[in-house]
Amino acid sequence: MNRFMEQFMKSGYKLTRPRRLLLERLEDLDRPFTAEELYEMMNREGIGRATVFRTLKLLLDIGILVRVHLEEGCQHYQLAAGLPGEDHHHDRIICRFCGKITDLDECPMRNDVAAIAKRSGYRLQGHHLDLYGICSRCDADNQKSH
Amino acid sequence: MNRFMEQFMKSGYKLTRPRRLLLERLEDLDRPFTAEELYEMMNREGIGRATVFRTLKLLLDIGILVRVHLEEGCQHYQLAAGLPGEDHHHDRIICRFCGKITDLDECPMRNDVAAIAKRSGYRLQGHHLDLYGICSRCDADNQKSH
DNA sequence: ACAAAAATGATACTTTGTATCAATTGGAGG
DNA sequence: CCTCCAATTGATACAAAGTATCATTTTTGT
Ligand SMILES: [Mn+2]
Ligand SMILES: [Mn+2]
Ligand SMILES: [Zn+2]
Ligand SMILES: [Zn+2]
């Protein structure tokens, strides 16, 4: 009964065997993953295709997962950072080598974003920022292997 | 022989009938579109499925089109803003109502992005920013219709 | 006009995701 | 603990999105 299961129960849905197994796997996944990757894992334990896709949709809805759009290849998922229901702010920095994603705790936007937006004629509602770079681990690895 | 066709020729590929027709349609498309939408348009003129998908890939490669990841539903395409080969900077503001995308001419990042990134242990390479809001046209329309 | 190379479109296929539905199961209430 | 029923499941068939193949056509340099 990990933190995901508790959060899941609160949502009112039944905590079934397939869902429990899936939520267990999530513990380990520290990288974005595709539906197909998850399906292959779960299918080894007998979980059906439809169930995996249905559950993914549920977890998005509940807020346990968020969709991630990487530079190439969309339709990835990852654990939602921070607490659900909170301000939906997901500025982040992504390693171009290994795909690791770290959420920024500070928003690096200038104060005059709103002004810039207004000049373009839009009423601003929100934003999403992705920084790209190389994480320290990959950076170190690449130094060595050269 | 519009600006796209000239740019296309320079790339060294043959300017064939299907490609010419497709590049003509692009003139009009001021919104992001899916491959399927484009296929349906072109198919009315006898262009085959494979050709449309192949040509899309070509145009991405040449830099006439860029891929756009919208909040919901990825895999859209739109005309590349600015000149190709230039700094790959595509910060933009997107209308949540009609999908209109306007590129920002100014980058609203604070000067200390690099510092924030460094604190997270990454070596920063670039970024991508999406602002979200309501465009002036949709804003006005919504006022009226209420 | 000719030939070679590039491109096309029909077709079949793969991949990714969804609808259907009979069978199963979790868990609320007795 | 047992019962019951709505919720859920997985098999299957299907739909949508994209790719490989290949015989035929088109483009372009000469
Ligand atoms: Mn921010
Ligand atoms: Mn910028
Ligand atoms: Zn990395
Ligand atoms: Zn709009």
Specify whether A111 is located in the same domain as A62: no
Average pLDDT over residues A58-71: 82
Does the pLDDT value for residue B17 go beyond 90? yes
Q: Which nucleotides of C are covered by protein (CB under 7 A)?
A: 6-12, 15-20, 25-27
Q: B105 to each of A47, A115, A117, B92, how far by Cα in Å?
A: 49, 13, 10, 9
Measured CA to C1', what is the nucleotide nearest B14? D27
Tell me the pLDDT of chain B averaged across its residues.
83
Choose between A107 and B57: higher pLDDT.
B57
Specify whether A19 is located in the same domain as A73: yes
A50 touches strand D (CB under 7 A): yes
Specify whether B108 is located in the same domain as B77: no
Q: Which of A64, A79, A53 is nearest to A6 (CA)?
A: A64
The three-state (H, E, C) secondary structure of A44-62, written as one string: CCCCCHHHHHHHHHHHHHH
Q: Which of A64, A62, A41 is nearest to A51 (CA)?
A: A41
Domain of B39, CATH number, reads 1.10.10.10
A18 touches strand D (CB under 7 A): yes
Give residue B47's pLDDT.
94
Specify whether B9 is located in the same domain as B78: yes
Q: What is the pLDDT of residues B80-138, one digit of tens each?
A: 664 433 455 678 888 877 777 788 888 888 778 888 888 889 999 888 888 888 989 99
Domain span at B48: 1-85
Distance from C-alpha of A50 to C-alpha of B112, rounded to nearest angstrom: 46
Task: Among the bound ligands, name the one nearest to the CA of residue B100.
Answer: 4
- The percent of residues above 70 in pLDDT, for chain A, comes to 87
Q: Which candidate from A122, A125, A139 shows the least CB-CB separation from B136? A: A122
Give residue B84's pLDDT.
38
Give residue A16's pLDDT.
95
Average pLDDT over residues A27-49: 89
Say how many domains are in chain A: 2
Tell me the pLDDT of chain A averaged across its residues.
83
